[in-house]
Structure 1
Amino acid sequence: MSFSVVTKDELARIIAKKDCCRLAELAALVKMDGSIEISGNQRLGLSVVTESAGVARKILTLIKQFFDHNTQVIVRRKARLKKNNIYQVKVSSAPGIRDILVRLGMLDEDGQLSEKIKAGLITRTCCKKAYLRGAFLGGGSVNNPEGDYHLEIITNKEQHALDIAGVMRKFDLSAKVSTRKNWYVVYLKESEQIITCLNVMGAHTALLDFENARIYKDMRNQVNRLVNCETANLNKTVDAAVRQLECIKLIEGLVGLEKLPKSLRRTAELRLQNPEVSLRELGDLLEPKAGKSCVNHRMRKLEKIADALRAKRQY
């Protein structure tokens, strides 16, 4: 299963202790995945559709807790692509259904469709957390932390997306809203922000898994950076040594190393004898020992002599 599915399974098993939080979470689920049905005699009904059995079970449990209405679950199988089950929780049209829709924020007090989150549902911090949990269960996803960091909640109402982002900001989450075709996407990109969001929603096991994967990923990236840096330095050292050897052999062949000053001659001889060592290691072999900068200075002198000999030969 994907990391997103595992996270939702964990959240679907959470049942809030307070009634206010349960109602806020149910309102979010209905707002995300619910639709109002109108029967032939103009009576209203409610239908909530989800692909998760755990989420469907949670919706059914919460509806039965708050509303004494005939409720049923219809299970059908997708005909296209992944042939997963689709769960439809239906609240039949009955007296009082309009009050339910108003209480959940689907309708305003005038009976008009409402895109906003009903203010009374999220007055407390605990209720805001529950609403985010319901919104994520209804239309959220989070990438596997081994890849790119990304958490999002998708809704088809712009105002609802802005309200969800506003709730996130109450927890210092810098949520942003973008459009994707006919959908509005509330998203987080930074790993620390996603970890905070998982904690707010109550997905503590997923949070730990995310942290472990992130630490492993960061460590692996750091090791790769170090290896790349060491490889680059090694290549640089090897290239320099090859160039130095070519210059020394040119001097040796044209004029002889014995014509060089003693310090340069000894440095050149040690380089010929130890083509693989670094400048620092080469300096340790000298008598008396010399530092890396001193050896580098001598090598530059040898290269200048070789360049002069090449120019003279070409001339």
Structure 2
Amino acid sequence: MSYASDVKKELTTLEVHKEHAKAELAALIRMNGSVTLANHHFVLNVQTENAAIARRIYTLLKDHYQVNSELLVRRKMKLKKNNVYIVRLKQETKAVLSDLEIMDGMMFNLNAAPSIMGNEQKMRSYLRGAFLAGGSVNNPETSRYHLEIYSMYEEQCEDLCEMLKFYGLNGRVIERRSGFITYLKGAEEIADFLVLIGATNAMLKFEDVRIVRDLRNSVNRLMNCENANMNKTADAAKRQIENIRLIESTVGLDQLPERLREVAVVRLEHPEISLKELGELIPSGPITKSGINHRIRKINEYASELS
């Protein structure tokens, strides 16, 4: 089971205040529902590939409106895809949709109801329903953090953005080939969103994985930095020895001033140590790292004049 499936499974087990749950139901129907006309009656079909979400839609309809809806299963034959679950309402459809402010007379409203916008608890439930209907979130163990909610209609995604901004979350909308998505990318914002819609356990798992992953990345960066410094030190020591050998083979180390000669001799004897360690081994020392660096620079300049 994917991480996104775990999130949705947790959300379908939440007990929510009746009025707030209606906002969740409104989002589920608005984003996953379709209405047809049969025998002069409206028929509502709400489709999902998640059995737990289908059961929640069925239960919410029954608890709020005491209507007899049907729960159907369609098996996809192509590529062995998941089953499709359909909650179908044939009776009192217009009354239900009107009460949820999805229908106004014979017109359908694409935007969330005014009674939901600005109501903190109802917006939480609406966002939960929207995520159940069309949401997905990357596993925090993957290379990037990403949460999105898909809709066929830009107006619905814009409403979701407005709700997210109410809670201080920077949701954005982009167009996809078959519709639009509202998305969040920051790890902290995704964690906050999961708490917002009630997926507390999923958020704790997200944070645990994220902390371990970030710690691992920090350790890797430190190791890479340390390795780079070691390589840099080794390359510098190699150039120093080459210059000292050049001086030794041309004019001899005795031509160097005493303070430079003793550094050159110790460096030849200890080619792999750092400048700090080199300074501690100078017979007339110890000498600070900056002092050793100054003398090494003079030796390099002397060798440069000989080459």
**Among the aligned pairs, what percent are the same residue?**
43
Q: Which of 195, 199, 222 is matched with 1:199 structurally?
A: 195
Instruction: Give the alignment's Cα RMSD to 1 decimal.
Output: 1.2
Answering whether residue 304 of structure 2 is matched by residue 299 of structure 1, we say: no
Query: What's 2:154 paired with?
Result: 158
How many residue pairs end up in the alignment? 305
> Which runs of 5 or more residues in structure 1 are unaligned?
311-315
Spell out the pairing of 1:95-174 with structure 2 (5 A cutoff). Answer: 96-108=92-104, 110-122=105-117, 124-147=119-142, 148-174=144-170
Query: What's 2:55 paired with?
Result: 57
- Secondary structure of the equivalent of 1:119? coil
- Secondary structure of the equivalent of 1:215? helix
Query: What's 2:241 paired with?
Result: 245
Q: CA deviation at 1:11?
A: 0.7
The one-letter amino acid paired with 1:129 is: R
TM-score for both structures, normalised by structure 2 = 0.96
Q: CA deviation at 1:170?
A: 1.2
2: CA distance, partners of 1:307 / 1:150: 55
TM-score for both structures, normalised by structure 1 = 0.94
Q: Which of 252, 275, 285 is matched with 1:288 structurally?
A: 285
Q: CA deviation at 1:199?
A: 0.5
Q: CA deviation at 1:21?
A: 0.9
Q: Decide whether the 8 Å contact of 1:105 with 1:116 is kept in 2.
A: no
Structure 1 stretches of at least 4 aligned residues deviating more than 6 Å after TM superposition: none
2: CA distance, partners of 1:167 / 1:296: 60
Q: CA deviation at 1:167?
A: 1.2
Question: CA-to-partner distance for each residue in 1:117-158, whole Å, 9 max, x for gaps?
Answer: 112245532111111111000000111112211111111111
> Which runs of 5 or more residues in structure 2 are unaligned?
none
2: CA distance, partners of 1:246 / 1:120: 80
Query: What's 1:11 paired with?
Result: 11
Q: CA deviation at 1:106?
A: 2.4
Query: What's 1:223 paired with?
Result: 219
Answering whether residue 269 of structure 2 is matched by residue 273 of structure 1, we say: yes
Question: CA-to-partner distance for each residue in 1:200-236, whole Å, 9 max, x for gaps?
Answer: 0000011001111111111111111111111111111
The one-letter amino acid paired with 1:236 is: K
- Secondary structure of the equivalent of 2:67? coil
Q: CA deviation at 1:82?
A: 4.4
Q: Which of 167, 177, 183 is matched with 2:179 structurally?
A: 183
